[in-house]
Homo-oligomer: A and B are copies of this chain.
Amino acid sequence: MNGKPKTARLSEDQKFDWLRLIRSENVGPRTFRALVNACGGARAALEALPDLARRGGLRRPIRVATADEIERELTLARKAGVRFVALGEPEYPPALRQIDSAPPIIALRGREEALQQPAIAVVGSRNASAAGAAFADRLARGLGQAGYVVVSGLARGIDLRAHLGALETGTIGVLAGGHDRPYPPEAVALLPKIAEFGAVISEMPIEWEPRGRDFPRRNRLVSGLALATVVVEAARGSGSLITARFAAEQNREVFAAPGSPLDPRAEGTNDLLREGAAICARVEDVLAVVDPLRERDPFADFREDTAEASEPLWGEQPLLGVDPAATPRTRAGQELDEAVAPAFDPGEPATLQQIEALLGPSPISIDDLARVAEIDVRRVRMAIVELDLAGRIEHSGGDRVALLPVSAGRETP
């Protein structure tokens, strides 16, 4: 890696506001970024939230995370040895920074150095065969010896074997819930060990109990932290295939270990091979592809972005690495420049209604939506943020969105 990136650091107050914003109802990573960019900072976004959500169609007040809630999370984090790293801070994992829905804040337990090393994700089925488990172990060990951190999802089976294989060279476990609600039980005893040589991270509130939908959501972080994702044994429909899909969407390498055509535990991996994943039958298969990537410093783009935005114009915005041209030149808490962010003008409900009318259950890219609507894409994005805050937007890969029925308001985060 070519030297340290130029990065900014949030003040304690700013980080507090960031936590409040990301812990508020219907604020996901994409909406967080859009809000901070449009409003000029987290504090201003927090103030704007109730109005925006109402405009988006929410028929009750939006739940904004309170200062007390954040105080409680900070206290629990301190007790658990967990600290918070914000997007754009030097400790933030450079690979993760590149993904569309990079979490604005990650809660970290363990060594922050582990987040800076090049990483490979090794994932697979919970009901692994003995051969699959042994291969995961061998692979993780080899990747660790070659200088890579091994990322996985802490699930029993392949994931835990991968963590174990790379325990002493460094491994990153990504939780689906909060640090104080570790899951699954099989992983709990291992977490202190993982944190000793590597790291355990979570984007969720520290007391968040993980539910079904949190696992696929978490999987985007597993692939997003890594240069490549290797799937070792996966039945069809398995969660590991979601991780592989995220990896492909994130323009990361996807590897699959082959398996017998008669073994249902290999159907998913063989499908991946059929669809163009590279074969991984030994550690060298992965190294041959990622070693050159590592030399080329694949996240140099980000480092340059950060360097260019190194003169902060308005609060914490440079940390998000946004296009300054697309952003209103205001200070946090100041009034917005309507000429630059016209969709933010409460006098233009027409845009929102038009976007709402054009959206449906089929995902469409925001660019296509703007073209069809013949509305400036920034105004479209703002309308999407408003609908999103009302719990009415479902995000798909490739910046695509679909409209959810009014009744289906999502839970947060």
Which positions 128-175 of chain A face chain B at CB distance < 8 Å? 129, 131-132, 134-135
Best-surrounded residue of A134, A266, A279 (most CB of chain B within 10 A): A279
Stretch with Cβ within 8 A of B (4 or more), from A52-60, A255-263, A367-375: A255-263
- Asked if A217 is at the interface (CB within 8 A of a chain B CB), the reply is no
Chain B min CB distance to A198 (Å): 25
Chain B min CB distance to A326 (Å): 43
Asked if residues B281 and A135 are in contact (CB atoms below 8 Å), the reply is no
Which residue on chain B has the smallest CB distance to residue A288?
Answer: B274
Which positions 243-298 of chain A face chain B at CB distance < 8 Å? 257-263, 266-267, 269-271, 273-274, 279-282, 285
**Inside 8 A of A281's CB, which chain B residues have their CB?**
261, 266-267, 270-271, 274
What is the copy number of this chain in the assembly? 2
**Inside 8 A of A261's CB, which chain B residues have their CB?**
135, 257-258, 280-282
Chain B min CB distance to A341 (Å): 50
- Please measure, in the bound complex, the distance between the C-alpha atom of A274 and the C-alpha atom of B277, giving whole angstroms: 10
With A274-B285, A279-B274, A281-B270 already in contact, the answer to whether A131 and B258 are too (CB < 8 A) is no
- Please measure, in the bound complex, the distance between the C-alpha atom of A255 and the C-alpha atom of B61, giving whole angstroms: 60
Chain B min CB distance to A266 (Å): 7
Total contacting residues, chain A, CB less than 8 A: 24
- Please measure, in the bound complex, the distance between the C-alpha atom of A115 and the C-alpha atom of B135, giving whole angstroms: 44
One of B260, B271, B282 near A260 (C-beta < 8 A): B260
- Please measure, in the bound complex, the distance between the C-alpha atom of A260 and the C-alpha atom of B273, giving whole angstroms: 13
- Please measure, in the bound complex, the distance between the C-alpha atom of A273 and the C-alpha atom of B273, giving whole angstroms: 9
Which residue on chain B has the smallest CB distance to residue A283?
Answer: B261
Chain B min CB distance to A361 (Å): 31
Chain B min CB distance to A290 (Å): 16
Asked if residues B285 and A279 are in contact (CB atoms below 8 Å), the reply is no
Chain B min CB distance to A107 (Å): 35
Chain B min CB distance to A352 (Å): 47
**Inside 8 A of A274's CB, which chain B residues have their CB?**
279, 281, 285
- Please measure, in the bound complex, the distance between the C-alpha atom of A273 and the C-alpha atom of B274, giving whole angstroms: 10
**Inside 8 A of A270's CB, which chain B residues have their CB?**
258, 279, 281
Asked if residues A134 and B262 are in contact (CB atoms below 8 Å), the reply is yes
**Inside 8 A of A260's CB, which chain B residues have their CB?**
129, 131-132, 135, 257-260, 263, 266
26 contacts between A and B (CB under 8 A): A129-B260, A131-B260, A131-B263, A132-B260, A135-B260, A135-B262, A257-B260, A257-B261, A258-B258, A258-B259, A258-B260, A258-B269, A258-B270, A258-B273, A258-B279, A259-B259, A260-B260, A260-B266, A261-B280, A266-B281, A267-B281, A270-B279, A270-B281, A271-B281, A273-B279, A274-B279
List 6 extra interface pairs beyond A131-B260, A258-B260, CB under 8 A: A131-B263, A258-B269, A260-B263, A266-B281, A273-B273, A274-B281
A-B pairs, top 6 by smallest CB distance, nearest first, are A258-B258, A261-B281, A270-B281, A131-B262, A273-B279, A131-B260
